[in-house]
Structure 1
Amino acid sequence: MPNFMVSPFDRPVTRKISPPANDEVSNVDSFVLPASGWESMLRGARSRCPRCNEAKLFTRFLKPVATCPHCLQDWTHQQADDFPAYVSILLTGHIMAPIIIALVQETALSLAGLAAIIVPLMLALMIGFIQPAKGAIIALQWWFGMHGFEKERRDAEAFDRKQ
């Protein structure tokens, strides 16, 4: 008997990743994992794949790719949620506080003049920080193996031999 308590939205969505072509298999081993979480966060903040640093991490402004075309890492596990927005607001507030204080104390601008300077600058900073923050948070989740990501680390002996 069918279970009528389960809706189509409750069923897990399974995605089949097509196997790579023969020429793509050689790309899978031709990258270097990051040495630290900071390096992976820097890769993510630059909107690059935190695992291989070769492909783009985002298809649109805040939409991450489903699978990295270079290293075949599945990015559907990420759950950044609202944390990038919090980071963006925190950074914007810390940058704007001294600017607002200096504008109010050192200039004789009207309230409309202050708003005309402060509001666009705050919006530009928040929009400018949100994508790097999301990339860094996705990279941090991957680095620590959160939400279904496999925890991967660089082999220290192989890294020492390359240098």
Structure 2
Amino acid sequence: MAHTALDQTPMPATEDRPLKPAMWRGWRRCCPNCGSGPLLRGYLKVNNTCTVCDQELFHHRADDGPAYLTILVVGHLMAPFIHIVYSKFRPEPLVMAIMFSIGCVALSLYLLPRIKGALIGFQWAKRMHGFGGKA
């Protein structure tokens, strides 16, 4: 039985868990199992269980991974942009520092919960850290 990223039905425990839909559901901050229930309460706190399908979510071990990946992505996106802006427009250093500081903080705040959700979806799909049950 094939599941799409928009499929709202929970996965049976014995089937392989598709990686891309699980990570996409996590990126959207939804339960990686059903895609309907909220994954996070607040900004980064993970729910213990899904309110829709009762999937246990407390097994996750996201730890520092989402923060590291967020820094990696923001750095790789902003560094070339900083170079392009400085080369073409030559803004004052203080203006450039303020502008890119705000951009880095905003992008980091946007990406951090989404990357955390995607990482939890990855762990769920690969049955890592207790997400596999007895399988």
Bin for the TM-score computed over the shorter chain: 0.7 to 0.9
Deviation (angstroms), 1:102: 1.0
Distance in 1 (CA, whole Å) between partners of 2:54 and 2:78 is 40
Q: Which has the larger radius of gyration?
A: 1
Counterpart in 2 of 1:133?
115
Counterpart in 2 of 1:82?
64
> Greater RCO between the two (CA within 8 Å, min separation 6)?
2
Q: Does 1:66 align with 2:44?
A: no
Deviation (angstroms), 1:32: 3.7
Name stretches of at least 5 consecutive residues in structure 1 with no aligned partner. Answer: 1-29, 153-163
Name stretches of at least 5 consecutive residues in structure 2 with no aligned partner. Answer: 1-7
Number of aligned residues: 124
Counterpart in 2 of 1:53?
35
TM-score (norm 1): 0.71
Classify the secondary structure of the residue corresponding to 2:49: coil
Instruction: Note if contact 1:58-1:65 (Cα within 8 Å) is conserved in structure 2.
Output: yes
Work out the percentage of aligned pairs sharing the same amino acid. Answer: 34
Classify the secondary structure of the residue corresponding to 1:69: coil
Counterpart in 2 of 1:94?
76
Classify the secondary structure of the residue corresponding to 2:41: coil
2:26 to 27, 44, 48: 44
2:90 partner letter = A
Instruction: Note if contact 1:143-1:151 (Cα within 8 Å) is conserved in structure 2.
Output: no
Distance in 2 (CA, whole Å) between partners of 1:69 and 1:80 is 20
